[in-house]
Amino acid sequence: MGRTLAEKVWEAHVVRHGDGAEPDLLYIDLHLLHEVTSPQAFDGLRLAGRGLRRVDLTIATEDHNVPTVDIDQPIADLVSRTQVDTLRANCKEFGVRLHPMGDAEQGIVHVVGPQLGLTQPGMTVVCGDSHTSTHGAFGALAFGIGTSEVEHVMATQTLPLRPFKTMAVTVDGELREGVTAKDVILAVIAQIGTGGGQGYVLEYRGAAIEALSMEARMTVCNMSIEAGARAGMIAPDDVTFEYLKGRPHASVGAEWDAAVEYWKTLRTDDDAVFDAEVRIDASALTPFVTWGTNPGQGLPLSASVPDPEAIGDDNERVAAEKALTYMGLAPGTPLRDISVDTVFLGSCTNGRIEDLRAAAAVLRGHRVADGVRMLVVPGSMRVRAQAESEGLHEIFLAAGAEWRQAGCSMCLGMNPDQLKPGERSASTSNRNFEGRQGKGGRTHLVSPLVAAATAVRGTLSSPDDLA
């Protein structure tokens, strides 16, 4: 019987098959570190008198805690500063390459890896961060791990793991103008639920996925975790190879040719069987936004806030009631009537150059609505430099948006960029959990196009509404 893409990559990394109840031991090709989930792991190594087995397969960046303004100043929050300083000291002590705040290659860990060419097809990639699934866009098996596992990879460059189940998420047809990768993944999550992917690696396939750019594929794979899946993958193809060719850490010459030859075998065989299959018609999709407090609570922008009374499942009804109370929304309100205080464009989901270009194209010639603040936060310093070379920053600034330095920013409440209690955002990030963007903050997840249009009108909107 044929094998799926995920199974091929898994098999290629088994150091040792577990016998009986014991898991397989899997080799890890790339370990990404940041300041939040690594200090206790480094500490564990020190206590046990261990070092890193492969510093040459490890790279660190500062992202979660960093401010996105005044980065030449010391971090004001002492606890944040301690965490960043701890990472710097640990990287120095253990010999790990670090891109600190202010460095030309600093940025969100999941933006930095791919743009350096460190993420390549068929690799295993881990990081103490659930959005590691992003790297699956290259046909890598990439997933988030906890701090104990971070320490385990540091010490052994392996992880004991049991094989994941496989789910095919087939997106047929063609996306309409103005419908993006973000809308696709929000629709997938709404369909299968926040627990629907548990235990699975999702493989996104079909015509609509193949037509996506590399960056859009990263947006899709990024939010696999929001469907409960450990990882998402897309088979590598010419789009992948084109993106990688010439990247700083991509191979060259005969080695590149050998790599491409191998990468071309990384496809699910025709006779392979998935453990589960889901199909979505791309041509039926429209811009999608969330109304609740988990990423599965989403609807087309043209819909209205749902009525919990109409939800049959007890748990889902209670969850919807609690979500509407927290969000301060009444059933039946058209989503387009919801006004926001803040628009956040950025994060490892939508902080890449294409996202900035898409939003800038909508904003050009418009102004951010009165009373709305818009934060534009590039995913990395390299993205920032690229955007500036294209003049995108001038469009954002002319519209009245703030042009920031690179970091996780308002995606999560660990740095100064936060919502105040009761404030409402349209956000291109990945989680609308209670308090995620700051205590009491209310989040609507949207695509970069919807974010930009919402900034102009002040209510949840798509670019069509600006015409």
Partner 1 sequence: MDAFTTHTGVGVPLRRSNVDTDQIIPAVYLKRVTRTGFEDGLFAAWRNDENFILNQGPFQAGSVLVAGPDFGTGSSREHAVWALMDYGFRVVISSRFADIFRGNSGKQGLVAAEVEQSDVELLWKLLENEPGTEVSVDLEAKTVRAKDFTAAFRIDDYTRWRLLEGLDDIALTLRHADRIDEFEARRQPWLPTTDPLPTS
Residues 241-260 that bind partner 1 (CB under 8 A): 248-251, 255-256, 258-259
> For partner 1, which residue of 238, 334, 439, 464 counts as binding (CB under 8 A)?
439
Contact 200, 165 (CB under 8 A): yes
Contact 268, 3 (CB under 8 A): yes
Cα–Cα distance, 395 to 447 (Å, whole number): 18
Q: 158: part of which helix (H) or strand (E)?
A: strand 158-161
Q: How far is the CB of 198 from partner 1 (least distance, A)?
A: 6
Stretches 23-31, 279-287, 356-364, 445-453: which one binds partner 1 (CB under 8 A)? 23-31
By the rule CB under 8 A, 158 interacts with partner 1: yes
Residues 102-141 that bind partner 1 (CB under 8 A): 105, 117-118, 120, 123, 128-130, 132
Stretches 181-189, 266-274, 379-387, 433-441: which one binds partner 1 (CB under 8 A)? 433-441
> For partner 1, which residue of 194, 213, 339, 386 counts as binding (CB under 8 A)?
194
CB of 146 or CB of 365, closer to partner 1: 146
Stretches 174-182, 274-282, 312-320, 373-381: which one binds partner 1 (CB under 8 A)? 312-320
By the rule CB under 8 A, 37 interacts with partner 1: yes
CA-based nearest residue to 350, from 412, 418, 428: 428
408 annotated to a ligand binding site: yes
> For partner 1, which residue of 65, 425, 429, 461 counts as binding (CB under 8 A)?
65
Q: Mark 282-301 with x for binding to partner 1 (rule: CB under 8 A) and - for no binding.
A: ------------x-------
CB of 40 or CB of 302, closer to partner 1: 40
Q: What number of CA atoms fall less than 13 Å from residue 434's CA on the CB side?
A: 9
By the rule CB under 8 A, 397 interacts with partner 1: no
Residue 279, class by beta-carbon neighbours within 10 Å (0-12 exposed, 13-18 middle, 19+ buried)? exposed
CB of 241 or CB of 403, closer to partner 1: 241
> For partner 1, which residue of 4, 58, 224, 342 counts as binding (CB under 8 A)?
58
Contact 260, 244 (CB under 8 A): no
> For partner 1, which residue of 136, 228, 379, 407 counts as binding (CB under 8 A)?
228
Residue type present at position 110: H
CA-based nearest residue to 342, from 417, 291, 290: 417
Residue 72, class by beta-carbon neighbours within 10 Å (0-12 exposed, 13-18 middle, 19+ buried)? exposed
By the rule CB under 8 A, 176 interacts with partner 1: no
Count of Cβ atoms closer than 10 Å to residue 20 Cβ? 4
Residue type present at position 288: F
Q: Where are the alpha helices (DSSP H) in 15-157?
A: 39-48, 78-94, 109-115, 147-156
By the rule CB under 8 A, 444 interacts with partner 1: no
Residues 352-391 that bind partner 1 (CB under 8 A): none
Q: What number of CA atoms fall less than 13 Å from residue 461's CA on the CB side?
A: 21
Q: How far is the CB of 406 from partner 1 (least distance, A)?
A: 17
Q: How far is the CB of 54 from partner 1 (least distance, A)?
A: 8
Residues 68-87 that bind partner 1 (CB under 8 A): 77, 79-80, 82-83, 86
348 annotated to a ligand binding site: yes
> For partner 1, which residue of 2, 11, 40, 365 counts as binding (CB under 8 A)?
40
Residues near partner 1 (CB under 8 A), total: 86
Q: How far is the CB of 279 from partner 1 (least distance, A)?
A: 24
Q: How far is the CB of 43 from partner 1 (least distance, A)?
A: 7
By the rule CB under 8 A, 333 interacts with partner 1: no
Q: 348: part of which helix (H) or strand (E)?
A: helix 347-350
Alpha-carbon distances, residue 114 vs 109, 308, 379 (angstroms): 9, 41, 12
Q: Which long-range contacts (CB under 8 A, 24 or more apart) does 114-120 make?
A: 114/138, 114/214, 114/218, 115/247, 115/380, 115/382, 115/383, 116/59, 116/247, 116/248, 116/249, 117/244, 117/247, 117/248, 117/249, 117/250, 118/30, 118/59, 118/249, 119/30, 120/244, 120/250, 120/259, 120/263
Binding residues, by number, are 348, 408, 411
